[in-house]
Structure 1
Amino acid sequence: MRRITISALCVALAAALLAVAAAPAGAAPRRDRTPPTTPGNLRVTAVTATTISLAWNAASDNVGLNAYIVYQQSALGTYGIYHSPGSTTFTDTIGVRGYTKTYWVVAEDTSGNRSGESNRVTATTTPDTSPPTAPVLTVTGVTQSTASLSWTASTDDAGTPGYRIFVNGAPAQFTTPIPSAGIRTASVRHLTPGTAYTFTVRAADAAGNLSPPSNAVVATTAPSADATAPTTPGNLRITFDMGCAVDLAWNASTDNSTPIEYEVFVNGGIQTIFVGVTTGFVYHTNVNGLNTFAVRAVDPSGNSSPLSNEVTSAFAEC
């Protein structure tokens, strides 16, 4: 048997290594580690109510670009969006007026190398300064202590507006339902019997722009000699708690006239009214903690009892 010495093996291994080192062209290329140049002159080219448009000078690379990464920083955080390497413009659709963002751009090549950051630019979508159109108001009915109102829809360039009711030039204190976007009827409560009132309505958009006042309508409540208030509703209690709403019950009030209405207050504001019954289903209005409920009795002349005892419930999903 032929024997191979250790020294012979060493010589053979050295020869093999030299052969690999001298391999001809066509062997596997070295990995590209050269980053692209930095995109230059990032600039804001246009701003609208809901969009911000950008442009920048192109980056270059020894192999080829894979993408531009457009970074965006706002009150919600920072994130990047991959953008076509063949385009040096970008439009960010925000959909919110008066919203501010800061931008910068980074180039990435096909090997994953990234350039430095471009300069940063900050822009804000144009704020909403256009008021809604004025509604047209009608008084549809009056009682001894209430006036029912209806009005036409206002238009606005930024969505459906809400509405604010004014009585003799001052904001109405007690209305049901509470005016909000899309609601165009309401009852103004706790008016004095036999009294003339002037009503107007204004539309308000999400930016707080108020429309001109509607037409002014004068209405006089019916007279009444009743000055006796109902007794206070007693023993207000929660009979079932759903987390986002509660079933309430209370002891009936008494009065020299009927029907008695029960105003249910949630966190200090009237949310709903029940007539002639002593139970009701009521939603929470505060989704971040405790909600406080109370009830008040009101007779047809607008005489009001004191508020009942309060009960509380913590909001939870349901």
Structure 2
Amino acid sequence: MRGPVVQRPTVYAALTCTALLLTATACSNAKAEPPLDRTPPATPAGVTAQAGSATSVHVMWNPASDDRGVTGYEVYEKGKRVKTVVAPDTMVDVDRLAPAKAYSFTVRARDLAGNLSAPSAAVPATTPAPTPDDRTPPTTPTALRGKVNGSGAVTLNWGRATDAGGGVTAYDIYQENSRIHSARGTETSTRVEGLRPGTVYTFTVRARDAAENSSKDSNSLDLKTAPGPGQGPSTAPTALTATARTSPTGERTVVLSWTQPRTGGEIQEYQLYLNGRFATTIAWGAPPPGPATYTFTVTDPPGTRYAVKLRAKLPDGKWGDFSASRTVTTAG
């Protein structure tokens, strides 16, 4: 005769926390939730606002800091939000404004948790009167020159431009065809910050008037920021030139020439970038003697402008620093 069935308690390999353990310490396998982020970012500093035309104002500021990182910025005009900017950008054009009117702007930083900093100090800007039917651009800024200020900034100077329609309202600083900074139309010098250590930058300046007409580029200027701590010598190709040519049959080409960097080994491969994007890999079976050259065919319409730069594949397999950028316009 079968005896009574005895119900034994099930023993689990991983025991839950008992009331006694909970009073002494947290369960060892429990995951603590990260604390809520209630700390706002630092208030943006260095805010400037300058009229770029009769209907727009260019606002800039210095990057703000946050214990977990700044994700964006909000620009306000007299307390009303008019623009939202995604980090790391620190400038924006506020447009659709009224001509000949005074404005006041502030900037607030925003973090991943949505915390907003306190508003920056308010900065004023007054749009100029409109200049109807002004289609004549200002003259080209001249004699662009500059100096490096450590590993993250440069100071630029240029000759003043003129404008017959109502005066120069702003000078726009370009790096590889991208506007990265603006100065007032009354200024002929500015400081550009937020640059990377040990990097070659190619700057040009354009003058702009109240009708948003922009001048041609000034002369280009190459400046290399100081290396950062522990950063070795530059591995960028130097003396890059870009020449547009058209064959008797109408084929349009661009001829590049440059001096290879000294890396202690052979370089047999380069990456070519056009307008900031990777275009092709240049490779040789053996390193070319003396200056390296490369010719590529272009199919875009005559008058197309390209920004060209290179970087070498180093003997250790890594890609080196970028060369200075060169601009070239294809001929007809």
- TM-score interval, normalised by the smaller of the two chains: 0.3 to 0.5
Q: TM-score w.r.t. structure 1 length?
A: 0.37
**Which has the higher Rg, Structure 1 or Structure 2?**
1
Q: TM-score w.r.t. structure 2 length?
A: 0.36
